[in-house]
Amino acid sequence: MKASVAEQAGTVRVNRNENFGKLRAGYLFPEIARRRKAHQEKNPDAKIISLGIGDTTEPLPKYIADAMAKAAAGLATREGYSGYGAEQGQGALREAVASTFYSGLRTADEIFISDGSKCDIARIQLMFGNKPTVAVQDPSYPVYVDTSVMMGMTGDHNGTGFDNIEYMVCNPANNFFPDLTKAKRTDIIFFCSPNNPTGAAATRAQLTELVAFARKNGSILVYDAAYALYISNPDCPKSIYEIPGAEEVAIETCSFSKYAGFTGVRLGWTVVPKALKYADGSPVHNDWNRVMTTCFNGASNIVQAGGLACLQPEGLKDMRAMIAFYKENAAILKKTFTEMGFSVYGGDDAPYIWVGFPGKPSWDVFAEILERCNIVTTPGSGFGPAGEGFVRASAFGSRENILEAVRRFQEAYGKRN
C-alpha cells in the first residue's frame, strides 16, 4: 500500500511555525559549542580554554551558598516548608532590590523577580506580540533579534541581517553609540549598557539622548543592565532610571548571573514602572503582571534566599569582590591584545574585550584562534552585521586559565606592529 504524502512528511498535520525557518543555523553559543566539540574530537589531547560564552567560573561566595543551603534544609521541616510563592517574587527580595539598585528611583512593587534576564526578554516579546517594529544595537546580544524573529516581527534574512529590523550601528567610528538622527522610528528599542559584546558603557549624555529619542517617537526602550555593576566610569549610569523621564518609556532587566556567579543558579529581575503606559493609556505594568502570573510560577524559593543574601552587607561585599576579580581578568586580556598591536575596545566597564581583525571574517578568526591557540572566542558577526571583523574575548575564567590564554596568544600572534 502506498504511503500518503502526509505519512511521508510526518505523522502529524501541524505546520511548523514559519518564523523558525527564518533563523540562521543554530543559536550562536550552541553553534560555538558544536565547533569546540569537533575541534576536541579532532585534537583529543588539546587543553581548550574557553573565552567564549560569558559563563562565570569562580565558586559561589560561602555566605551566599550557605543561605541557599539553609533554605533548602528548611524545606525538610514543618515550619520551614513553603510551596508556591508570589509569581512576582518574595516581598523581602523585591524590597532589597529596590533599595540596593533603585533607591529613590523605583518602588518594590515595580520590580518582578525572575529566573533571569534572558527568559524575561522572551516573555517581554510575548507581551508585545508580533506587530511592533524593533530596533537593536548592532552588534548586540543575539537574543533580542532571535526572539523577534521567532515572534514574527521580522522579514527573512537578507544575507546580512533580517528585514524589518532597524540595526543601529555601534562601532569605533561613533564611539559605540548609534547615530540616532539616522535611526528610523520603531515601537521597541533594545539597548544594553554596558554593551554585550563591545564592552562599551553609555554615558549620561548619551542615555539622555536615547531617552529623549524614545520619548519623541513614542517608543518603548527595553534596557538590559545585566553588567551595570562592572561600570567604573562615574559618567556612565548604572540604571536607565537615573535619566529623567525614562520611567515613562523604559523597562529595565537585570540579573545576578554575572554579579554573584548565578549563571546556573538562575535569578534576575525586570523593572516595569507604573508610569509606563501604552498608546491607549493602559499600564504596561498590568500586562507584565499578567504575563508573569500566567507563564511563570516564580523563581525558586531556595534561589531567592540566595538573592536576598547577595544584597546583605556581607553578600554585597562578596559580589563586589567577584566582579573585581573578573575586571582584573579583563584588564590582563586588554593589556595583552593592546601590546600585541590589536585595536582593542571594552574591558574597562564590562567583562568583555572586543578585538579587531580588519578584513577578516570573524568566523574565520574564531577558527584560526581555536586551531592555533586551542582557545574559544566568540565571532563578532554572531552579534550582528557590524560585528564582522571582530571577536569577543570573555574575562570569565580562572586566573590560571586567563594567564595561560595570554601566553598562548603571545606565542601565536606576538607583536603585530
What are 251-280's pLDDT values in tens digits? 999 999 999 999 999 999 999 999 999 999
Whether 155 maps to a domain, the answer reads yes
Mean pLDDT of the chain: 95
Instruction: Calculate what percentage of the chain has a pLDDT beyond 70.
Output: 97
Q: Is residue 11 part of a domain?
A: no
217 and 80 in a single domain? The answer is yes
* Among 255, 284, 312, residue at a domain's last position: 312
Q: Which amino acid is at 378?
A: T
Same domain, 343 and 374: yes
Same domain, 66 and 38: no
Burial degree of 1 (CB within 10 A; 0-12, 13-18, 19+)? exposed
Residue 272 counted as domain residue: yes
Does 371 reside within a domain? yes
**373 and 333 belong to one structural domain:** yes
Taking residues 80-96, report their average pLDDT.
97
Question: Using CA atoms, how far apart are residues 253 and 244, in angstroms rounded to an integer?
Answer: 18
Domain end residue (candidates: 249, 284, 312) = 312
Euclidean distance between CA atoms 205 and 243, whole angstroms:
9
Q: At residue 94, what is the residue type?
A: R
Distance CA 294, CA 297 (A): 8
The arithmetic mean of pLDDT across residues 43-58, rounded, is 94
Same domain, 299 and 275: yes
Are 217 and 327 in the same domain? no
CATH number at residue 138: 3.40.640.10
More confidently predicted of 159 and 415: 159
Question: 117-128 vs 284-295: helix axis angle to the nearest 10?
Answer: 120
Strand 268-271 relative to strand 250-255: parallel, antiparallel, unpaired?
antiparallel
Are 292 and 406 members of one domain? no
Q: Looking at 271, 293, 312, which one is the last position of a domain? A: 312
Q: What is the pLDDT of residue 123?
A: 98
Q: What is the DSSP string of 79-101?
A: TT---S--TT--HHHHHHHHHHH
User: Which pLDDT band, with edges at 50, 70 and 90, does 1 fall under?
Assistant: very low
pLDDT bucket at 26, cuts 50 / 70 / 90: low
Same domain, 285 and 231: yes
What backbone torsions phi and psi does residue 178 show, to the nearest 5 degrees?
A: -70, 150
The model's pLDDT over 388-406, given as tens digits with 9 standing for 90+, comes to 999 999 999 999 999 999 9
Q: Checking DSSP bridges between strand 352-356 and strand 390-394, what pairing results, if any? A: antiparallel
* Backbone φ and ψ of 271, nearest 5°: -110, 125
Residue 361 belongs to a domain: yes
Residues in the chain: 417
CB 188 within 8 A of CB 53: no
- Is residue 24 over pLDDT 80? no
My answer on whether 286 and 377 are in the same domain is no
- At residue 278, the pLDDT reads 98
pLDDT confidence of residue 25 = 59
Domain count, the chain: 2
How many CB atoms are closer than 10 A to CB 25? Answer: 9
Same domain, 191 and 212: yes
Q: Where are the strands (E) in 316-395, listed by range? A: 344-346, 352-356, 375-376, 378-379, 390-394
| Tens-place pLDDT, residues 206-229 | 999 999 999 999 999 999 999 999
In this model, does residue 115 exceed pLDDT 80?
Answer: yes
Q: Do residues 283 and 381 both lie within one domain?
A: no
Res. 53 pLDDT band, cuts 50 70 90 = confident
Query: Do the domain assignments include residue 20?
Result: no
Q: Is residue 2 part of a domain?
A: no
Per-residue pLDDT tens for 364-378? 999 999 999 999 999
Using CA atoms, how far apart are residues 93 and 304, in angstroms rounded to an integer?
A: 7
* Same domain as 231, residue 377: no
Could you give the C-alpha distances from 170 to 13, 187, 192, 209, 386, in angstroms and in order? 44, 20, 11, 15, 7
- In terms of residue numbers, what domain contains 350? 25-58+315-413
Give the burial class of 245: count Cβ atoms within 10 A of its Cβ; 0-12 exposed, 13-18 middle, 19 or more buried.
middle
- Whether 4 maps to a domain, the answer reads no
| pLDDT number for residue 417 | 47
